[in-house]
Structure 1
């Protein structure tokens, strides 16, 4: 059976439909978690027929990995404006990155946090594919911070005896914890406190 002209006009390109499923899925997963998100809910919200899901994704796991990759790509673009901004001094890039995260948390009323971090807590112990993908993303983000700290060290802003990679890992681990605490307490104060302590007590510079 062929589609009528009118139905063709209404139909979305496959790439648009896939992107819309990922967008809606990301929003629902951010609020409910992956395990509690039903595919039927995503399809209904997107207005996509139930049988169409497996045209775009081979499984719910495949869908979840696509959601993670989409979030990571979007987040990388944001990091280009902060950690990758050559017009800012290296430590100011890190400050800008943390301030942006705090602003984003306030904008969502402390309800979402980092999607990759949330899914890491939920799924890393359950699914090896998710664990490996999330670990690779965290490593990529950590490498960006490391490059900033290496540059800051070369410019004399960071102790020459310090290990930039270890400092970057500490920032990432502490920031994930501060973000989780902000969600639980419904306040960005834990994030602000960690930011201040990291610069003043770990790096030894003014926040």
Structure 2
């Protein structure tokens, strides 16, 4: 009797293998957002994940390969966080951006501001990272910018911001400033930089701001 044909595509991981891969990715998100890529050793990752080096190399060819997967996982996680706030139909568009900022602040506070943004952290280390990370990090930031620009276009459509503003440029400005605010909040272990930037950004672009 002929053997049954093998299913196409990537082999499905056994439950134990799935669990070890998830543990490694969780450990990477925690370690890299807190300490950065260069400072974290493979030994730190497997120890935090509670797995062996053999398990690590079962899933990833190298630390560089692992880091690329962690970037993709973080992007998916953070896109969902952005969409959760910017997709709220019960809030006006600018209130959605404020909601994102407050939720992000709460996320940093949960870890006593010891963890920053993985993408911002890696961007600061780029001189010591695999060169192909550069395009990956830029693509992640541009994706977040597009989501924000769509929200700002909604704000224009309801008159919250002036029609002369360029939503794409404003979104790029927001993420450049926001990443700096996250860096300073982590440095100071304080939410004030996040609040100052978000409040100032929204006040500056709002059509209802008070005249000087």
**Equivalent position SS for 2:124:** helix
Instruction: Output aligned runs, 1:9-48, within 5 Å.
Output: 12-48=15-51
Q: State the 1:29 CA deviation.
A: 1.8
Which has the bigger relative contact order, CA under 8 A and spacing at least 6? 2
Question: What is the alpha-carbon distance in structure 1 between the residues aligned to residue 72 and residue 127 of structure 2?
Answer: 16
The question of whether the paired residues in 2 share the 8 Å contact of 1:110 and 1:187 is answered with: yes
Which region of structure 1 is more displaced relative to structure 2, 12-21 or 140-149?
12-21
What root-mean-square deviation, in Å, do the aligned CA atoms of Structure 1 and Structure 2 show? 1.8
C-alpha spacing 1:177/1:204, structure 2 compared with 1 (3 Å): farther
Match of 1:138 in 2: 141
Equivalent pairs counted in the alignment come to 196
Answer yes or no: is the 8 Å Cα contact 2:113–2:186 preserved in 1: yes
> Does structure 2 retain, via aligned residues, the 8 Å contact 1:199–1:205?
no
Q: Residues 73-117 of structure 1, C-alpha deviation per residue, up to 9 Å, x if partnerless?
A: 111221221012233321111111111111222222121121121
CA distance in 1: counterparts of 2:181 and 2:79, whole angstroms: 21
Q: Is 2:172 the partner of 1:159? A: no
Structure 1 residue runs of 5 or longer lacking an equivalent are 1-10
Q: What's the TM-score once normalised by structure 1's chain length? A: 0.87
For residue 71 of structure 1, what is the aligned residue in structure 2?
Answer: 74
Matches within 5 A, 1:1-207: 12-123=15-126, 126-205=129-208
**Contact 2:120 / 2:179 at 8 angstroms: preserved in 1?**
yes
